[in-house]
Structure 1
Amino acid sequence: MRQFTAVVNPSAGGATGTAALLPLARLLRQAGAQLDTQYSNSLEHAREIALKAAEQGHIVLAVGGDGIVGCVGGALSGTEAVLGIVPAGRGNDFARALGLPNDPSALAKLLLKGTPRRIDTIAVESAAHTRTVVLGSVYAGVDALANRHANTSRLLRGSASYYAGGLRAVATWWAADFRITVDGVSRERRGYTVVAANSAYYGFGRLIAPDALLDNGLLDVVIIREAPKRLFFTIMNELKTGAHINRPEIEVLRGKEVRIEADREIPYGADGEVDNVLPMTARVQPGALRVLC
């Protein structure tokens, strides 16, 4: 029978990670599995818990939103440890990309009987040469600013916080001159944002890169070029279905390594948590993580 260590973000999104874990924990224990629950007080603490559990041969459950999932998954990347995900955050975009069930019974069955699948991860190197491993995507520009606003919102939760954050970010944004280098080939583009995507989803279910695959050893690089702000909001609405991909203002590249630079201080984020400024380099790590999905 499998042994699990749950790494819990106590206050993921508006609901608590604890509340999401309780019905699942009961089902796992009823089936005979062992479950140790650990509460993290920071992302660094979550990494430490995950690595210690992996050394003991446990399946590591990331309980929370994309931030803690990316943190725990990044810590386990490059090891033979297995990651399980209990979605309990605002966006849960990586869980969505994996097709994970929300129903506790279905999720318990998957965790107890599922076969691990190898997926790619992303190594992100900042201007200060610090290295972080994430799972879903790295995004630079107005969407990183919008995500910052959403994360700091005290009044709104869920999709409302992302929508309000987007409105606030676009209202004060002007197009930036990006240099985007994909597998050694550089391009100059003026636009709103650049996304290096391993997962199709980001920003609370927005289908930013419809053709992105988690196990093809490549990143889809989506560029939203300069456009009137009224059109930008139309494009943002089309992200719900992926229809934006057919617009001339959208360009999609694909490669193993992506470097993004800009003409001014531009923020970038990753998996909803990393908050830094360009330049940065993202490299795909093929098949680096085993995950139950």
Structure 2
Amino acid sequence: MLNPAAGHGRASREWPQVEALLRASGTSFSLIRESTRERALARLRALPPGPVVAVGGDGTAGALLPALAAGQRPLALVPLGTGNDFAGWLGLHGLGCLPDLLAGRAQARRLDLLRVQWQGPQGSGERLLMNGLGMGFDAQLTAALPRAPGWLPGQARYLWAALGTLAQMRLHQGAVRVDGQVLSSGPTCLCAVMNGTRYGGGFLISPESDPADGRLNVVVGQSLSRARLPAMMLKVAQGRHLAAAQVVHATGQTAAVTWQEPAWLHLDGDVVGEVTSLQAEVLPGALTLLGPARSG
């Protein structure tokens, strides 16, 4: 699967190198390059069983998850997107594990996925996630990312968008529950439900996450003022925010979020709009991910 727009065109520019490796190895492959998630999924489901290589960012792989869940097909990442947060947690960059895959050295591991359902003014939806989601200020600034200068790297783009969005920040009245127990109730500036550890090109929003532990992690920023948010973001960049008084977090199998007024939502970095409620559950070991051969 190739997303030519990933990484501001980086995936398209580097595709010839990926294709050359595939052809030099004598590997037979089918290129999926569709304009919509639905068409990409239909193409993939029509193919015979075999590994799937996602050339792009986290969203490129995320679009294919319904055909990959429950170990139906193993996934390999070639992280050529903007943030590459899930791949970054795995220590992958550039061509990812493609050389190991073509040489028969790639190792498979089972990782969790998240199933998310949401409701909002524009309707409802459901999606599988590999990395995680953010609501509130986090999703607002994600929506601003396309306006950031193309030469900025992932984390710098996130900071640029955050500063531009700061004046629009507002607290949302709502409730967050983990496994049915109230984690937070009242004014909230953002809420993240994570399988992976980071988003925004390297911000460690959930440093305690383990995508193979059968649990999801929830991080909530409570009544945080505009003046204090930049300092908190620096702590998030280093994964030092969980001890802050304005932050609460928990881990479990399910999470539920309700808002009195609609709040913005992003799923694996893909902004879907404003929602009023959301439910998430972890799917243990639902994804077979191919990685580089481990030393030792």
**SS of equivalent to 1:16:** helix
1:165 corresponds to 2:161: yes
For 2:125, the equivalent position in structure 1 comes to 130
**SS of equivalent to 1:41:** coil
| CA distance 1:74–1:96, shift in 2 (3 Å) | farther
Q: Equivalences for 1:1-293 in 2 at 5 Å?
A: 7-53=1-47, 56-102=48-94, 104=95, 107-110=98-101, 112-127=104-119, 128-151=123-146, 153=148, 157-159=152-154, 160-186=156-182, 187-276=184-273, 277-293=275-291
Show structure 2 runs of 5+ residues with no match.
292-296
Higher mean C-alpha deviation, range 74-83 or range 131-140: 74-83
Asked whether the equivalents of residues 59 and 268 of structure 2 are also in contact (C-alpha less than 8 Å), the reply is yes
The one-letter amino acid paired with 1:162 is Y
Identity %: 26
Distance in structure 2 (CA, Å) of the matches to 1:201 and 1:74: 22
The one-letter amino acid paired with 2:11 is G
The one-letter amino acid paired with 2:68 is L
Say how many residue pairs are matched: 284
Q: Encode CA deviations 1:251-284: one digit per residue, 9 max, x unaligned.
A: 1111111111112110111101141323111111
The one-letter amino acid paired with 2:84 is N
For 1:4, the equivalent position in structure 2 comes to none
Higher mean C-alpha deviation, range 200-209 or range 226-235: 226-235
Distance in structure 2 (CA, Å) of the matches to 1:269 and 1:17: 22
For 2:294, the equivalent position in structure 1 comes to none
Asked whether the equivalents of residues 212 and 220 of structure 1 are also in contact (C-alpha less than 8 Å), the reply is yes
- Displacement, 1:67? 1.4
- Displacement, 1:43? 2.2
**SS of equivalent to 1:230:** coil
TM-score with structure 2 length normalisation?
A: 0.89
Asked whether the equivalents of residues 74 and 121 of structure 1 are also in contact (C-alpha less than 8 Å), the reply is no
Distance in structure 1 (CA, Å) of the matches to 2:278 and 2:151: 30
Distance in structure 2 (CA, Å) of the matches to 1:291 and 1:64: 16
Q: Encode CA deviations 1:191-239: one digit per residue, 9 max, x unaligned.
A: 2101010000111111110010011111110011112322211111222
Distance in structure 2 (CA, Å) of the matches to 1:228 and 1:24: 46
Higher mean C-alpha deviation, range 84-93 or range 27-36: 27-36
The one-letter amino acid paired with 1:271 is D
Higher mean C-alpha deviation, range 151-160 or range 261-270: 151-160
Q: Encode CA deviations 1:36-82: one digit per residue, 9 max, x unaligned.
A: 222121222222233233xx012111111121121123441124211
Asked whether the equivalents of residues 114 and 128 of structure 2 are also in contact (C-alpha less than 8 Å), the reply is yes
- Displacement, 1:155? 5.9
Asked whether the equivalents of residues 74 and 135 of structure 1 are also in contact (C-alpha less than 8 Å), the reply is no
Distance in structure 2 (CA, Å) of the matches to 1:92 and 1:190: 31
Distance in structure 2 (CA, Å) of the matches to 1:154 and 1:43: 26
| CA distance 1:232–1:154, shift in 2 (3 Å) | closer
Show structure 1 runs of 5+ residues with no match.
1-6
Higher mean C-alpha deviation, range 158-167 or range 216-225: 158-167
Asked whether the equivalents of residues 138 and 282 of structure 1 are also in contact (C-alpha less than 8 Å), the reply is no
Asked whether the equivalents of residues 194 and 218 of structure 2 are also in contact (C-alpha less than 8 Å), the reply is yes
Q: Encode CA deviations 1:95-153: one digit per residue, 9 max, x unaligned.
A: 11222242x38641245421221111111111144221111011111000100111355
The one-letter amino acid paired with 1:218 is R
